[in-house]
Amino acid sequence: MVASVSQRRFLDKCNGFALNLGVQMKRKTLLILGSIVGFIVVAVIALPMLIDAEKFRPMVETQAKAALGRNVTLGKLDFSLLSGGVVISDVTIADDPAFSRDAFLIAKSLKVGVEMWPMITSREVHVTSVVLDQPQIQMIKSAAGKWNFDSLGAANKNSSQPKGKQSLSVQDLRIEHGKLTIAQAGKKHTYDDVNVKLQNFSDTSAFPFSVDATTPGGGSLRLDGEAGPLAAGDVTQTPMHANIKAENVDLAATGFAPADSGIAGVLDFDGNVKSNGKELHSEGKATAKNLRVVKGGAPAHQAITLDYASDLNLLDKKGVLTRGDIALGGAASTAKLTGNFDTRSDIPSINARLKGTNMPLDKIEGLLPAFGVILPQGSQLQGGAVTTDLSIIGPVDRLVTSGPINVVNTKVGGFNLKSRASGLTALAGLPSGSDLLIQALNSKMRVAPDGIRADGIQLVLPNIGTVTGDGLIGANNSLNFKMKAKLANGGGLAGGLSALSTFGQSKGELPFLIQGTTQNPVFLPDVAGAMTGTMKAPVQGVQGVGGLLGGLFGKKKK
């Protein structure tokens, strides 16, 4: 049916009214939404003015003190709805008074994220995040082996808090760009750019963590693992496990080695630690470069790697090294180190055993400078093997290493004994080769801070003879050896030397001294030794002591 003109006009008016109504309603809706948004903006701006964050200071300080067991002082508190929390300036946490009156921690600022609604409606503080900005932390170790952070949380250890109630929980806890100073044995060492991240942190359950820092001397350190629940009263007994990676760590600068020990070098480490709160198990590979062991030593030319495993009792601070495979210069394992260690005092001590069989001597040569032994210029060990069984005992800054050393079939390349010992005329008949062949070398060694002592030296030199004696390599590389040489087939000795047999000496023996330094040894006749032999039984045919010494050392007889 076709609508009349009047009906169409009526329908057009209805449609126009409906359209106008829709537009008006849309405008009103937009106005309402705009008003709501405007109200929210005003509220966001006004709430910090309406909520005085300073009113929360006593409560926050009280809760922090209760949780840490330390006095906590806070600066100005600023509330920000946009950032969702409170910014606290000038944060100070006191140290354990048994260690220091200075602060344990000082931070430029502390940003605390909180849940807004409980805070606004009931003034309950539910912390979601904590970020410490540029804190300075001081860690102190006492002479008894205790740390100043051990007592953190001690106040809660015997509290009446209902069992199972969570006293502290933070979803995100971070330390950013901190500075950590470690003080022990009267020395301080600072770690820069320390960053710590703890997720879902709680003092009643385990939580993941990561730590990275720049070590003194420019090295790096990183830990990734899981820890918790926190052990109140002694944080070191908190269960944890972590992977550790360290690169270019300066042993002296970091304080890992006592400053007075002479121990130095650069360490790389890749390993892991695991603790159940009572025992700490650690294992990994540690590689030391430019190692120095004694004060008079020089950096070793050879890197040394220790593949180890150890267990430390966290209660009595004593441990055992269950595996210690030593490799030199990237070679396979050449020696084994086992024993016990004690960390109760400022300076740890060890009681260990180092055992090696048929170790390649040319690999060990690169370590000799670390012990203060520097071969004469142009000389080097070539081939051969060494077997040893050494005890290593004492504090790490005063270690004493002792035991037998046995060397076979080696050669000191570039060392001409005849020219070096030119001061001994009786050795004029020695071969003039540029290398010194050593068939066997046996001695009892003692390495200590004052130097290296060699007793009962027995040296077998092919085509030359045997050398026996004792001596000392001082901490300044000085030599002081008293030796006797028994040359094969007389060795070109002067007639007077053979007469020594008449004086109670073994036939063909030549007493001499080795002085100078390891880098420049000086061979001298042992006048006192010769005189001692002479005084035992005067002999006819030689005009006194002077005549004998003249025959020995090339002087003219009267």
Spell out the domain ranges in the chain.
Answer: 45-157+167-237, 257-400, 415-553
The pLDDT of residue 497 is: 38
Classify residue 293 by its DSSP letter: -
Task: Tell me the pTM.
Answer: 0.73
The pLDDT of residue 196 is: 92
Q: pLDDT band at residue 166, thresholds of 50, 70 and 90?
A: very low
More confident residue, 89 or 168: 89
Could you give the CA distance from residue 132 to residue 174 in angstroms, rounded to a whole number? Answer: 6
More confident residue, 395 or 376: 395
Q: Is the pLDDT of residue 551 over 60?
A: no
From the list 474, 472, 479, 476, the residue with the least C-alpha distance to 517 is: 479
Min mean pLDDT across 10-19, 130-139, 226-235, 424-433 is at 10-19
Q: Is the pLDDT of residue 335 over 70?
A: yes
Q: Is the pLDDT of residue 180 over 70?
A: yes
Q: Is the pLDDT of residue 19 over 90?
A: no
The 3-state DSSP class for residue 260 equals helix
In this prediction, residues 366-379 reach a mean pLDDT of 80
Could you give the CA distance from residue 540 to residue 80 in angstroms, rounded to a whole number? Answer: 110
Is the backbone peptide bond immediately before 229 cis, with ω within 30 degrees of 0?
Answer: yes
In this prediction, residues 79-101 reach a mean pLDDT of 80
Q: pLDDT band at residue 542, thresholds of 50, 70 and 90?
A: very low
The pLDDT of residue 15 is: 59
Enter the tokens of residue 244: 């550790």
Q: Is the pLDDT of residue 153 over 60?
A: yes
The 3-state DSSP class for residue 290 equals strand
Q: Does residue 291 contact residue 255 with C-beta atoms inside 8 Å?
A: no
Q: Is the pLDDT of residue 421 over 80?
A: no
The pLDDT of residue 125 is: 60
In this prediction, residues 85-110 reach a mean pLDDT of 87
Q: Which residues pair with 353 in a beta bridge?
A: 338, 391
Could you give the CA distance from residue 506 to residue 468 in angstroms, rounded to a whole number? Answer: 12
Q: How large is the angle between the packed helices 544-553 and 527-536, nearest 10 degrees?
A: 130
**What is the amino acid identity at position 171?**
Q
Q: Which residues contact 155 (CB under 8 A, 6 or more apart)?
A: 65, 66, 68, 69
User: How would you classify the pairing of strands 169-184 and 127-133?
Assistant: parallel
Cα dihedral 506, 510, 514, 519 sign: negative
The pLDDT of residue 504 is: 37
More confident residue, 46 or 141: 141
Tokens 């045997």 — which residue? 466
Q: pLDDT band at residue 9, thresholds of 50, 70 and 90?
A: low
φ, ψ for residue 21, nearest 5 deg: -65, -40
Percent of the chain with pLDDT over 70: 71
Min mean pLDDT across 149-163, 168-182, 309-323, 497-511 is at 497-511
Q: Is the pLDDT of residue 140 over 80?
A: yes
The 3-state DSSP class for residue 64 equals helix
Q: Does residue 155 contact residue 168 with C-beta atoms inside 8 Å?
A: no
From the list 185, 257, 262, the residue with the least C-alpha distance to 216 is: 257
The pLDDT of residue 318 is: 93
Min mean pLDDT across 45-49, 92-96, 127-131, 346-350 is at 45-49
In this prediction, residues 207-229 reach a mean pLDDT of 92
The pLDDT of residue 373 is: 77
Q: Which residues contact 158 (CB under 8 A, 6 or more apart)?
A: none
More confident residue, 421 or 229: 229
The pLDDT of residue 426 is: 60
The 3-state DSSP class for residue 149 equals coil
* Mean pLDDT over each residue of the chain, to the nearest integer: 77
CA distances to 156, 169, 524 from 163, in Å: 12, 15, 82
In this prediction, residues 439-462 reach a mean pLDDT of 91
More confident residue, 72 or 543: 72
More confident residue, 158 or 232: 232
The pLDDT of residue 241 is: 95
Percent of the chain with pLDDT over 90: 26
In this prediction, residues 269-280 reach a mean pLDDT of 94
489-540 tens-digit pLDDT: 654 443 333 333 333 344 567 888 989 888 888 888 887 665 555 444 443 3
In this prediction, residues 156-161 reach a mean pLDDT of 49
Could you give the CA distance from residue 548 to residue 526 in angstroms, rounded to a whole number? Answer: 13
Written as one string, the DSSP assignment of 115-138 is -HHHHHHH----EEEEEEES-EEE
Q: Does residue 293 contact residue 252 with C-beta atoms inside 8 Å?
A: no
Enter the tokens of residue 94: 């006191």
The pLDDT of residue 249 is: 92
Min mean pLDDT across 136-145, 274-283, 398-407, 439-448 is at 136-145
Min mean pLDDT across 1-5, 37-41, 53-57, 285-289 is at 37-41
In this prediction, residues 51-60 reach a mean pLDDT of 68
Could you give the CA distance from residue 129 to residue 112 in angstroms, rounded to a whole number? Answer: 6
Most confident of 40-44, 54-58, 391-395: 391-395
Enter the tokens of residue 328: 């030199």
Helix (H) or strand (E) holding 551: helix 544-553
φ, ψ for residue 271, nearest 5 deg: -165, -165
Could you give the CA distance from residue 125 to residue 169 in angstroms, rounded to a whole number? Answer: 11
The pLDDT of residue 187 is: 79
The pLDDT of residue 154 is: 61
The pLDDT of residue 274 is: 96
From the list 351, 377, 381, the residue with the least C-alpha distance to 363 is: 381
